[in-house]
Structure 1
C-alpha cells in the first residue's frame, strides 16, 4: 500500500495557489520565481499578498523536503527566493 506524505498533498492541492506541475524541480531560479509569481497573482483564494503566498509555498517546499532535497536543487530553490524578491520589487526586504 503506497503512502502519501501530507506535505506532498499540500503542494499538489494547495487551497491558495494552483502551481505548475513540477515547478520545484526546475533548474532555473528565474523560471521558478516567475511561475510562482504568476500563480500567486492569478489566485483569488489566497489570504496573503501574492508575494507572501508565493514565498510561503516555496519555503514550505524547501522545509518539507528537508534532507531528501538534493543540495544542488536546494541552492536553485534558495536562489528562486531572491528572484521572487526581485520580481515583486522586494529586494533587500525579507
Structure 2
C-alpha cells in the first residue's frame, strides 16, 4: 500500500461512493427507523446514484454490515438488520420472508 492509498478502502467507499451521499453518523444511530429514514433521504436526494433509490440505500446498508464482518457486535448487527425492514417499509416494499 502506497502513502496515497488509504488503509481502509471501505471507509473511503462509504465516504466517497457514487451510490449516495450519506448523512454524518447514520450508522451510529441507535434507532433502526432513524437509520432507514436517513438512508432514504440520502438516496432520494442523490444525483450520483446509478440505480433506484431503494436499491442504493439497501446496498449501502448491506455494504456497511458486510464490511464490519465479525467486528460488528451482535446487538449492533441486529439493529442494522432491523433497519433493513424499516427501509423496506419506508419505500412501501413488503418485508422479506414475511407475507405482505
Asked whether 1:88 is paired with 2:91, we answer yes
List gaps (5 residues or longer) in structure 1.
none
For 2:96 and 2:82, locate their aligned partners in 1 and report how far apart those are by CA, in whole Å. Answer: 15
List gaps (5 residues or longer) in structure 2.
none
Selected match of 1:8 from 11, 22, 29: 11
Contact kept in structure 1, 2:18 and 2:48, CA below 8 Å: yes
For 1:77 and 1:10, locate their aligned partners in 2 and report how far apart those are by CA, in whole Å. Answer: 19
Selected match of 1:46 from 31, 46, 49: 49
Q: TM-score, normalised by structure 1?
A: 0.92
Contact kept in structure 1, 2:18 and 2:50, CA below 8 Å: no
Bigger Cα Rg: 2
For 2:61 and 2:80, locate their aligned partners in 1 and report how far apart those are by CA, in whole Å. Answer: 7
For 2:73 and 2:27, locate their aligned partners in 1 and report how far apart those are by CA, in whole Å. Answer: 12
Q: CA RMSD in A?
A: 1.6
1:92: how far off?
3.4
Q: TM-score, normalised by structure 2?
A: 0.86
How many equivalent residue pairs? 93
For 2:95 and 2:82, locate their aligned partners in 1 and report how far apart those are by CA, in whole Å. Answer: 14
Contact kept in structure 2, 1:33 and 1:83, CA below 8 Å: yes
For 1:27 and 1:93, locate their aligned partners in 2 and report how far apart those are by CA, in whole Å. Answer: 22
Q: Which has the higher contact order (CA 8 A, sep 6+)?
A: 1
